Amino acid sequence: MREVRVDLPGNGYDILIGTGIEEAAVSFFTDADFSSRVLVISDTNVGKVYGEKAAELLRRAGKQPSLHLVPAGENSKSMEEAEHVYTKAISAGLDRKSAIVALGGGVVGDLAGFIAATYMRGVPFVQMPTSLLAQVDSSVGGKVAVNHRLGKNLIGAFYQPKRVFIDLSCLATLPKRELSTGLGEIVKYGVISDEAFFSYLETHCDSILAVQPEPMEHLVVRSCEIKAEVVTQDEKEAGLRAILNFGHTMGHAIEKETHYVRYNHGEAVAVGMMGAAYLSRELGLVGDAEVTRLRELLLRFSLPIQAEGCTEDGMMAAIFHDKKTIDGNVKWILMEGIGRVRAVTDMPENVVRKCMRMIISD
């Protein structure tokens, strides 16, 4: 078992990564100062496979778990679905020291974290991510939110979990598309922070796609380490943490334009990373070689580099509704090379539109 520490003053926690982590989880819940009633939030896909296993784990720790399943998919990140979960929490008798457990992918983690941050002004929150995307990204760092019809993650909070339990054995059953979407965020970490990690992805592509244990452990651990380093320095995105948004400005616009059903998050981010790479090249920050390396790695991981069902004007409108846009100024995270990025706010609109056209499929 590997541990990664997110070392925040007053809010620090450990990420436990490995296989067979049930005993560590039982010990944690046995010793934690939580009430006996616990609400496990999962979705209709994950809950069928892992829901009862999680409930039994909690019963072994002396807890009284309730399981609530939300419909699988991005549409469950809504105020309407949150209302159903609040009702379940109240009906189950959760009090201010009752823990909420997120069991599933990024949608479940974001929704459950939002519920934990707001129910009775905040209750303990534990992450048990089952998808690769959630394990390397959304379960770490404390960003929790639901969507609004005008934009993604517009209603939310910074709310850190008490512990993150990452069971690598969950990856063995992931569908190929779910594996690829997680790899989209993993590629991002190499671009923003670690060229050696990016090179590792290039040279171990086949073993990663075969979900071999050793490379998968390295991918998850290194991704969590990079995100923990960034979050420790900038918990609430006052500066450095913005680098984690590489590919997300156009990526979120693609998700909104396609109504959150055509592309999953990692796929949209992959296309968004290509858009950011083209912007970087237009400004002379990188050359063709860096753009080609990124494009080829994304293609090897079966990720899209263009988006269907989007329009230039629609994407522009979506970007200006994005939560990262301040006073009409968009903070673009652009490449300075593989492993280095910078923030740019004075991007000419004609350049943005040119690069958007390059990632929109006819």
Q: What angle do CA 25, 30, 35 make, to 5 degrees?
A: 115
Domain boundary among 128, 152, 173: 173
The per-residue pLDDT for 322 is: 59
- Percent of the chain as helix, strand, coil, to the nearest 5: 50, 20, 30
What single letter denotes the amino acid at residue 149? R
259 carries an active-site annotation: no
* Active-site annotation holds for 149: no
User: End of a domain among 151, 173, 195?
Assistant: 173
Identify the domain boundary among 132, 151, 173: 173
pTM for this model (two decimals): 0.92
CATH number, domain of 28, equals: 3.40.50.1970
To the query of whether residue 252 is one of the catalytic residues in this protein, the response is: yes
Domain that holds residue 311: 176-359
Residue 337 and residue 334: Cα distance in Å, rounded?
9
237 is annotated as an active-site residue: yes
pLDDT, position 323: 52
Q: What is the structure's pLDDT at 164?
A: 98
pLDDT of 193 reads 96
Same domain? 139 vs 184: no
Could you say which of 237, 255, 257, 290 is catalytic? 237
Annotation marks residue 68 as catalytic: no
Active-site residue, 84 included: no
350 carries an active-site annotation: no
Does residue 202 carry a catalytic annotation? no
Say whether both 88 and 188 belong to one domain: no
Residue among 77, 88, 256, 265 flagged as catalytic: 265
217 plus 334 within the same structural domain: yes
45 is catalytic: no
Query: Which ranges of the chain have pLDDT less than 70?
Result: 322-328
Q: Which residue in 45, 147, 153, 245 is the catalytic one?
A: 245
Dump pLDDT digits (tens) for 59-107.
Answer: 999 999 999 999 999 999 999 999 999 999 999 999 999 999 999 999 9
pLDDT score of 182: 97
Distance CA 255, CA 318 (A): 9
pLDDT value at residue 202: 98
For helices 195-203 and 176-193, angle between their N-to-C axes, nearest 10 degrees:
150
Q: 304-338 burial, b if ≥16 CB within 10 A, otherwise e? A: bbebeebeeebbeebbeebebeeeeebebbbbeeb
Catalytic residue among 241, 255, 290, 293: 241
Counted domains in the chain? 2
pLDDT attached to residue 327:
54
